[in-house]
Amino acid sequence: MNWEEEIRQAYNWAYVQFTFEKDSPSPFTEVIWNISQNAFDIPREIQVVIDADDNLFMNVGSASYVDFPVDMEGGMKLPIKCWIHTHPFGKAYWSATDMRTLRTWKPFLNSAIVLGYREHHTWHKHSQEMKHVRYAHTKTLSNPLHPDNAHLYEEE
C-alpha cells in the first residue's frame, strides 16, 4: 500500500473533529505524521486537503515546504473542510507561508491543522481561534514504589 492509500484508509471526519474538540492527536493525524516522518527518503512535508465532498487531495514536498496548489487533480469541491500539513522538523506553528495560505484561502477554508512532533496547531474559521496543543504522554505503574522503579525518583 502506498502512503496516499494509507491516509485514505485512516480517514474519518470524526477523527478530524476529535483533534479540534479534544486537543489531542487522532488516529488520522497520527497516520499523517508518521507517513511524513517515515514514508520517504527523508522526513518531508505532506499535506492533506479535505474538500466539501470528503475527498482527500494529497501531495508531498521537501523537508521544509509543500506547495498548496489552486487546482489539485480530481476537481476539488469548495469549501475546503480542512487543510492539514506537517512540519517534519518537529515544530507545529503557522509559518509566514502558512499564514499567507490561510489569508488567501480563508473565504473557502473552514479549518486547518499543522502537525509537529507530539503537538499540533489548529485554526477554525467559525471561532477564528488558533490553538497550540502539546501532547503529554503518561505512564501508569502498577507498583510505583517497587525497587525496580527506583530510577524514576533518583535526582540528577
Antiparallel, parallel or unpaired: β 82-86 and 111-116: parallel
pLDDT at 99 over 90: yes
- Global pTM reads 0.85
Q: pLDDT-derived band of residue 156, with 50, 70 and 90 as boundaries?
A: very low
Task: For residue range 129-154, list pLDDT tens digits in order.
Answer: 899 999 876 556 566 566 665 555 55
Mean pLDDT score, 5-31: 91
pLDDT at 60: 94
Task: For residue range 33-62, list pLDDT tens digits in order.
Answer: 999 999 999 999 999 999 999 999 999 999
C-alpha distances in angstroms, 7 versus 21, 49, 53, 64, 75? 21, 11, 16, 20, 19
pLDDT at 146: 62
Query: What residues pair up with 119 in beta bridges, in sequence order?
Result: 116, 134
